[in-house]
Homo-oligomer: A and B are copies of this chain.
């Protein structure tokens, strides 16, 4: 029909695209982003800008594709799997490197301090504090001077990227480097934060860099990897990277897949599961090999303490129904404390962004240093005020020494104590976090900790975690969350032990449940968190209990606020589109949602000067293109993107002197562009109107936009409810949606059977088949039948 119109209407051109092979839907049904998103709640910190998700879907691209054929497709699939392998290996190696470094720094720090405090406590404290300060300072320096986007956990930003918002700089090579070394400093420096969130970011960075074939800026590009021009492919890779990050951080391959699925992605495809799964499996194998290599003692202080994994198989395997009540209480506490944590961090981060961090990098560094000193003072000083506890009667079989030997990992830290005594507060405070958690989770150590110590630790560590969150260092919230949760979990466990005297209750099991509850109350994950907890503790029997606790804590937390990542994304001005439309959208139509918006059209052939002035005159990112039939009617022939127009203006090769559109009589449209020119590098700002320099002669020339526009953008009728529009937009990951008036007629109806095409490369055969399935039967006697070109249906007589 369209071609009919145009054949009648236009002298010079047949629109090429209608006869050329169409590109994959992936080209458009792909990414989504905010137009002018920077102005929506724009925050001052990291600039949020829009993503160019829509890859050009036009003649040139399709011709190129058609030329390439089957071998190219096989090559693409192969490269995808090779990239998954590389992402897995890279992320696993990065995780191993960070872990070995942190363990070595921390091990060296603690042995030095323990040696010195044999002589002087004050000197020991000074050395401890200074080492911490130096490590933290190095981290803050890297972040402020070199890679500002590497601060924080990075998960909200990655989540935003996968939702369609490209925060500037989050996936650059410098961010990767900053994140790796920054994490070593901040975690090694003993701050109340973890290395797991940053590892997710690291995985995503590795994936993104591999996907674009290396770093653009540092000229580390490999051409043969540069085949991923569609944002969907890039996003898939980043999803793999996130899964790899979690798999490496917790040695939880299945948890990684589920984390990627549940928490970070916005558009999940079942095909992707398979590739993500493969990446996670690679991570598991590489990490295991590296740890096997380290077992022979080649990694210095790195030993059992490295890699967050706590074998609590010695824990409680059975539970009685009486215990469900205290466990539910743990869930409620987790929900409350988690929601409080989200709220407090939100306020503090808000204040930081709007007041403190506006004063420049020096303030940020000073802030981090103050936090570091406070942390050192508390973790060294508080145990000094605690009286030592005599060691319990040693059970020779348990293998637990009391006090533990200096420089080793384990329970019962002797700190300022006599022989056969230990300091329970130092056991959790003056220790690496991984060891502290191991001690809190430990079974067969009933009454190791006093309630007073646990309570002190809980309050202090909670405050430290709140204050540390949002400082200018890479920071994950998993490990602090587990610390906080396991502390109150163990507290509840202690009460249960003394209340139900006879049951075989392990305080360590309650600590585990507490950890799950706090993470559930703060991050609001369910299945993935459950699997991660099971994988890191290596005890499947507790699964139903973890599920129960998570259900309660998430429900309680949801009553107060959103999850940690959503809150932080909101704060950073990352406008995530949730999967569910808002309730009030049902009362708004698509037209009302557009409001008094003025649509800016382009004609098919446009003067360069006009392009420039239109682009300068507004900041829309997509423009409908219209053409005229001979009878003078307008017809919307497609959508063109600002970014593609800018590329055209910059390259100038498509300028023509004639104001007439390109005609098929002139031969096939020549391809003057490499497709990659139209692709914006990830995390950069892309071309801007100010990069364009045109001579007065250029301004007088014309461009035929037909080959560069997307000829069939998705459309919705003007009175569709916004709920339906939202679902369409969100489910297909769109960026622009045209609102059009009601159609005057229907060309056809697509139903399921039209889409059931057998796997058959012969297209002619396919068409024959789909049309021959059942249409011959369709109502020879049907009363009313719209002829394709009839203006009036036959049933007019009813009126």
- CB contacts (< 8 Å) of A749 on chain B: these are 594, 597, 599, 620, 622, 624, 736-739
Contact A254 B543 (CB under 8 A): yes
- The one of B593, B636, B741, B742 in contact with A770, judged by C-beta atoms closer than 8 angstroms, is B593
Say yes or no: A602 contacts B751, CB within 8 Å.
Answer: no
Give the interface SS of chain A, mostly helix, strand, loop or mixed. Answer: mixed
Closest-by-CB residue of B relative to A725 is B750
Given contacts A759-B582, A782-B618, contact A716 B715 (CB under 8 A): yes
Question: Which residues of B sit under 8 angstroms from A32, Cβ to Cβ?
Answer: 752
- Copies of this protein in the assembly total 2
CB distance from A760 to the nearest CB of B (A): 7
> A527-B257, A591-B748, A720-B712 are contacts. A586–B22 as well, Cβ < 8 Å?
yes
A753 within 8 A of B: yes
Render A592-608 as a binary contact track against B, CB cut-off 8 A, 1 for contact: 11111111111101110
CB distance from A299 to the nearest CB of B (A): 19
Interface size on A, residues (CB 8 A): 181
Which residues from B are CB-within-8-Å of A785? 598-601
CB <8 Å contact, B718 and A1: yes
Q: Does A784 contact B (CB under 8 A)?
A: yes
- Chain B residues, Cβ within 8 Å of A1: 591, 718, 741-742
A626 located at the interface, meaning its Cβ lies under 8 Å from any Cβ of chain B in the complex: yes
A735 in contact (CB, < 8 A): yes
Binds B, one of A344-352, A353-361, A449-457, A761-769: A761-769
A541 within 8 A of B: yes
Q: Which residues of B contact A716 (CB under 8 A)?
A: 712, 714-715, 750
Interface residue? A727 (CB, 8 A): yes
CB of A659 within 8 A of CB of B799, answer yes
Within the complex, the shortest CB–CB distance from A346 to chain B, in Å, comes to 16
With A712-B716, A735-B752 as given contacts, are A767 and B551 in contact (CB-CB < 8 Å)? no
**Contact indicator A624/B746 (Cβ below 8 Å):** yes
Given A739-B748, A741-B745, A750-B725, decide whether A719 and B581 contact each other with a Cβ distance below 8 A: no
Contact B262 A24 (CB under 8 A): no
Residues of chain B contacted by A591 (CB below 8 angstroms)? 1, 747-748
Interface string of A517-560 (1 = CB under 8 A from B): 00000000011001100110011110110011001001000000
Q: For A715, what are the chain B residues with a Cβ–Cβ distance below 8 Å?
A: 715-717, 743
Quick one: which of B36, B739, B798 contacts A610, CB cutoff 8 A?
B798
| Set of chain B residues within 8 Å of A285, measured between Cβ atoms | 544, 548
Contact A603 B752 (CB under 8 A): no
Which of B594, B744, B779 sits near A748, CB closer than 8 Å?
A: B594
Contact check, B22 vs A593: say whether CB atoms are below 8 A apart. no
Q: Report the minimum CB–CB distance from A267 to chain B (whole Å).
A: 9
* Mask: chain A, 559-601; 1 = CB below 8 Å from B; 0 = not: 0000000000000000101011111111111111111111111
Chain B residues near A273 (CB, 8 Å)? Answer: 262, 526-527
Please state if B23 and A601 are interface contacts (CB–CB under 8 Å). no
Tell me which residues across on chain B come within 8 A of A619, comparing CB atoms.
777-779
CB of A71 closer than 8 Å to a CB of B = no
Q: Which of A468-476, A668-676, A789-797 contacts B (4 or more CB under 8 A)?
A: A789-797
Contact A547 B600 (CB under 8 A): no
A463 to B140, CA, bound (A): 67
* Chain B residue with the shortest CB-CB distance to A280: B547
Report whether B254 and A531 are in contact in the complex, using a CB–CB cutoff of 8 Å.
Answer: yes
Which among A253, A717, A798 has the greatest number of chain B C-beta atoms within 10 A? A717
Task: Tell me whether B575 and A786 are in contact (CB under 8 A).
Answer: no
Find chain B residues with CB under 8 A from A581 CB. Answer: 25, 755
Candidates B541, B600, B637, B712; contact of A724 at CB < 8 Å: B712
* One of B26, B603, B724 near A28 (C-beta < 8 A): B724
- Given A277-B551, A288-B544, A577-B752 contact (CB < 8 Å): yes
User: What would be 18 A-B contacts, judged by CB atoms less than 8 Å apart?
Assistant: A2-B717, A22-B588, A25-B721, A25-B724, A26-B723, A40-B753, A253-B547, A281-B548, A540-B540, A593-B748, A598-B786, A599-B747, A599-B748, A601-B785, A605-B799, A606-B798, A613-B781, A712-B721
